[in-house]
Structure 1
C-alpha cells in the first residue's frame, strides 16, 4: 500500500467528579459544544455527543496520529479548564479521573449514535453505574466497583 488508511470509531463515556449532577439543562449545550471543540482540536471527527446530569457520551473518529489517552486527556482537561474560566457551574467543575473508550464497528455506528442521542430516555430507568458496568461486561472487562 502506498498510503496508510485508518478509521477507528470510538464511543467514549466519562462522568463528572463524584458523579455530581452538574450538567443541567441551562449548560448542557455549552458542555457539549466545548467538548466538540476540544475533540476537533485534536483532529478527531465528532459524530455526536449526548449525556445527562452526571456524565457524557461521545462518538468520534480517532485521529490516527493520536492515542486515545492523549485525546481523552485533552478533551477532559481542556473542557474543565474552559468551564472553570467562565465559572459555568457554582462549584469548581471537574471530570472523574477515568473514562471508558470502546471501539465501534462501522455497522454499529447508527445504533450507537441513536443510543447516545437518547440518553435522557435511557436514564429514566438505568443508573450510570449500571450502564457503565454493562459496557464492562459487554467488552469483557471487570466491573468498576468504585464508580
Structure 2
C-alpha cells in the first residue's frame, strides 16, 4: 500500500457568482452534505467551508484520485442534491472553472484556519477580491 499525503486547496464558485447560499444555516447544510458525500466516495475532505457564492475544500488526494475527477464528483453531486431538495429559489449551478493549488505540510494548519474562518473573512473582503488575490499569489495568468 502506498503512503501518500498530497493536500490540495480547491475553490469553486456558484455560476456567475450568484449568492445562492445567503444564510449561515443553508451554508452549513450544504458544506455538511459535501463533507458526507466526499466521505461516501472515498475522498478525504479535511475541511470544507465557504460563503454565499463559493466553496473552499482542503482535500488529501488518494493514490488513485486526480483533482479533476474529485472536483467533478463534489460539484456534480452537490448541485444535483441542492436542486433535488429545492434549497435555492432558482436552479442551482456551480461555475465550470475552479482553483486548485498544492499545500505544503507546513501550511496545512494555516489553510485549515483560512477555510474555517470564511464567515469573518468575507465581512472584510469580497469573493472578487479574494479571487484576484489567488490569481496574483499563485501567478495564474
Instruction: State if a TM-score over 0.5 links the two structures.
Output: yes
| Structure 2: gaps spanning 5 or more residues | none
- The answer to which structure has the higher helix fraction is 2
After superposition, the C-alpha distances for 1:18-68 in whole angstroms (9 at most, x for unaligned) are 111111223112210121123223322121111111111111211220110
Alignment partner, residue 77 of structure 2: 78
Alignment partner, residue 41 of structure 1: 40
TM-score, normalised by the number of residues in structure 2: 0.92
Alignment partner, residue 91 of structure 2: 92
Contact kept in structure 1, 2:39 and 2:45, CA below 8 Å = yes
1:121-132 map, 5 Å: 121-132=120-131
Alignment partner, residue 63 of structure 2: 64
Alignment partner, residue 21 of structure 1: 19
Say what the alpha-carbon RMSD is for the aligned residues. Answer: 1.3
Alignment partner, residue 138 of structure 2: 139
Contact kept in structure 2, 1:38 and 1:74, CA below 8 Å = no
Alignment partner, residue 7 of structure 1: 5
TM-score, normalised by the number of residues in structure 1: 0.89
